[in-house]
Structure 1
């Protein structure tokens, strides 16, 4: 199978066609003959469905034959596969929100980087050094408060950001 995997050229269009076909049949499985017209040979069909199975987008029932190797018997789309096809992310987007947490050191480094990249017209080199040293000495709660203030400032300037994006894109 390792040799076959090396020769497998992943065709995203065909993978999507397989998922679409499986979604059309949902909740029923699709047997090999219902997918074979999408592929030149059964090895590619089996490899594609195995790949989708490994990523949790489909369940593939594959049998191993002594003379012919592995072959797909049937496949069915999973909830993850349906959500993958959905433009809005499906129920996964509703049920599985992601919480992003930044460690104080990461926030400190991001602020330091912005200070370091500030132009000399905005902040003198001496003032940059002083600000970075002061920033490094702040406790976690102060970093949290500073980050909240910087985020508020960014949100207050959102109309300006929209203008910059508009100018950049035109």
Structure 2
């Protein structure tokens, strides 16, 4: 679907939110078939709602066959999702679709433990003691370790295994 076509229809509908407008080919400077197929596309993505769209791929011949006036066949209105799509900042939809991710202490310990196990720079003989220290960490110590790991990761881009050993054991 051509972006130019669906943007033209969304823009046309956007100035009359909550109202139904007739999509006339001469007003949109589009062929009826293009309006019909674009209306299907926009409706499938819930950006607009339409009445009178024709399921046939060749909508104009279908209208001719039933004797309809193609200029009065399709009526549409833009949805809130469609309005937000047109906004540069994504509108209220982008604010409402924020995902919150919560990691509990067990998950964080598992992530760090996996890093220890996979590390090539921590000597194998030190791994069991390090893993045990991590397992026995109190929640407050784990919070501090997590804060240090995140801060360092943001500042440096990566954490060395040596730093991880130092942070867990200190």
TM-score, length-normalised on structure 1? Answer: 0.57
Larger Rg: 2
Task: State the aligned residue count.
Answer: 144
- The answer for the alignment partner of 2:126 in structure 1 is 127
Residues 129/151 of structure 1: CA separation in 2 closer, same or farther (3 Å cut) = same
Q: Find out whether 1:76 has 2:67 as its counterpart.
A: no
| Distance apart, 1:75 and its partner CA | 1.6
Q: 1:37 aligns with which of 24, 29, 32?
A: 29
Please state whether the residue corresponding to 2:102 is helix, strand or coil: coil
- The answer for the alignment partner of 1:90 in structure 2 is 91
Residues 65/47 of structure 1: CA separation in 2 closer, same or farther (3 Å cut) = closer
Q: Looking at both structures, which has the greater relative contact order when contacts are Cα pairs under 8 Å and sequence separation is at least 6?
A: 2
- Where in structure 1 are there 5+ consecutive unaligned residues? 1-9, 162-170
Distance in structure 1 (CA, Å) of the matches to 2:126 and 2:49:
60
Whether the aligned pair in 1 keeps the contact of 2:84 and 2:90 (CA below 8 Å) is: yes
TM-score, length-normalised on structure 2? Answer: 0.57
Q: Find out whether 1:17 has 2:8 as its counterpart.
A: yes
Higher strand share: 1
1:147-162 aligned within 5 A: 149-151=145-147, 153-155=149-151, 158-160=154-156
| Distance apart, 1:152 and its partner CA | 5.2
Residues 24/110 of structure 1: CA separation in 2 closer, same or farther (3 Å cut) = farther
| Distance apart, 1:160 and its partner CA | 4.5
Whether the aligned pair in 2 keeps the contact of 1:115 and 1:128 (CA below 8 Å) is: yes
| Distance apart, 1:93 and its partner CA | 3.5
